[in-house]
Amino acid sequence: MTRASRLGTAPAWLEQARTTGFTVEHVDERPAEPAMWRRLYRLWIAHADELLSELGEVQARNMLREAHQVLPTLPGRRAVLLTLRHDTKQPATPGTADSMPGLSRHSDERTPQ
């Protein structure tokens, strides 16, 4: 799993993993990742007209909004790849899954096709 945090801050992923019944086995630093995103976002902005014509207004505007929001946050960002192990003997904390942000549907609802 990839995660990001601010340099010099305590990462939240250790507690997140523990709460869901996982242990962090290894943390692999990805120092080049923020620079990769910086290049990609700058390309999106530089080629905004092409994105609009090739992808349509909704998708292009979403991509450009993301670029403008995230680009200023990249300096000082720490990106990592986590290797997790699930402890099958330790169930996740009750209520963990239903506390995820942004869920507006019940898990038994089907998405219309």
Query: In this predicted model, what pLDDT tens digit does every residue of 54-79 receive, in sequence order?
Result: 999 999 999 999 999 999 999 999 99
In a domain, 59, yes or no: yes
Q: What is the DSSP letter of 96?
A: S
Is 79 among the domain residues? yes
What is the SS3 assignment for 20?
A: coil
Q: Token pair 């995230």 is at which residue?
A: 70
Q: Which tokens hold the place of 44?
A: 């999106």
Tell me whether residue 113 is in a domain.
no
Highest mean pLDDT among 6-10, 55-59, 86-90: 55-59
pTM of the model: 0.67
- Average pLDDT, whole number, for the chain? 84
Which domain, by its residues, includes 38? 2-88
Judge whether 108 lies within some domain: no
Total domains, the chain: 1
Per the listing, tokens 């942000």 go with 101
102 is a domain residue:
no
Report how far residue 29's alpha carbon sits from residue 2's, in angstroms, rounded to the nearest whole number: 10
Residue 22 CA to residue 42 CA, distance in Å, equals 36
Q: What value does the mean pLDDT take over residues 106-113?
A: 43
Residue 103 resides in a domain: no
